[in-house]
Amino acid sequence: MNTSTQLVNETSLSISATLQIIATSLIALVVLYGVGFNEMDIAHNAAHDSRHSATFPCH
């Protein structure tokens, strides 16, 4: 009984950890998209030199 409770806890813990990692990965992608790919003039001009140096496709 005790063992099974522990197993359930560990499983739910690991699912939640996976979801948290997926969430942080998604935030990373949104940030990188915003700095690297956003086509608004303001975003492009502000990040221009960084985009070229990090070799994002630009222009």
Q: How far is CA 32 from CA 21, 27, 42, 43, in A?
A: 17, 9, 16, 12
- Residue 31 binds to other proteins (criterion: CB under 8 A): yes
- Residue 11 binds to other proteins (criterion: CB under 8 A): no
CA angle 33, 25, 35 (to 5 degrees): 20
Where do we find the tokens 């690991």?
14
- Residue 28 binds to other proteins (criterion: CB under 8 A): yes
- Residue 8 binds to other proteins (criterion: CB under 8 A): no
Residues that bind other proteins (CB under 8 A): 10, 13-14, 17-18, 20-21, 23-25, 27-29, 31-32, 34-37, 41-42, 45-59
